[in-house]
Chain A
């Protein structure tokens, strides 16, 4: 158990719909990152939030957006869902922010999103 929780566990949506995924960080962690993991591939970095502000984004379109709240929980929102958005979405929390990371990142169990 890492102390990072995600909800829901599984989700089925249709093309064009919108989805919100949630992540509760480990206590004391002020940085959360989101990753997309397609079947059979390694996770791909979507974006990161540090103290409620976006702190970097990977190669994902603007329809992927996020929020981080004062209690450091986080949301990932995806608009206009496409079939290729089907994946396992992972969040990870750590104490590091803009400084060099000396701590490992703690991953949640993920949300499996299926887009039909």
Chain B
């Protein structure tokens, strides 16, 4: 059974700081690893999807890496802004479009 863990559970940083969010998973037989953003009381917005054959993906100030052998993924956010404040969720897909989520990292970027 796939289990996904995210560290830290919460993070508060000043504006402009570069930061790293961590995600680990127990079953390395994944199809892909996805990072989502969730604003309070809202649905999920897809940020990055890394296929199992890839090592990283980049979108603007976001960079996500994947190391299947160690069961780890990281989301790097450069030059953080107050608008980046949200909960960030990682999810591993292990079969047929089914996602196993971590519990998220709640990020606060202070002006």
Interface residues of A (CB under 8 A from B): 2, 4, 6, 31, 33, 35, 40-45, 48, 50, 55-56, 58, 88, 90, 92, 94, 96-98, 100-102, 104-110, 112
Contacts and interface: CB of A to CB of B under 8 A. Distances in A.
B41 interface: yes
Interface in B2-41: 4, 31-32, 34, 36, 41
Contacts, number: 77
Interface residues of B, number: 26
Nearest to B4: A42
Kindly name the residue among B34, B42, B98 whose own CB sees the greatest number of chain A CB atoms within 10 A: B98
The SS class assigned to the B binding surface is: strand
A106 B43 CA distance: 10
B30 to A, nearest CB: 11
B97 A48 contact: yes
Interface string B90-111: 0101011111111110000000
B107 to A, nearest CB: 15
A59 to B, nearest CB: 9
Contacts of B34: 104-105
Contact of A94 (B89, B97, B103): B97
B46 interface: yes
A45 to B, nearest CB: 5
12 contacts: A6-B43, A42-B4, A42-B104, A43-B89, A45-B99, A45-B100, A48-B97, A56-B96, A94-B97, A101-B31, A104-B49, A110-B41
B44 interface: yes
A41 B103 contact: yes
Interface in B44-90: 44-46, 49, 51, 89
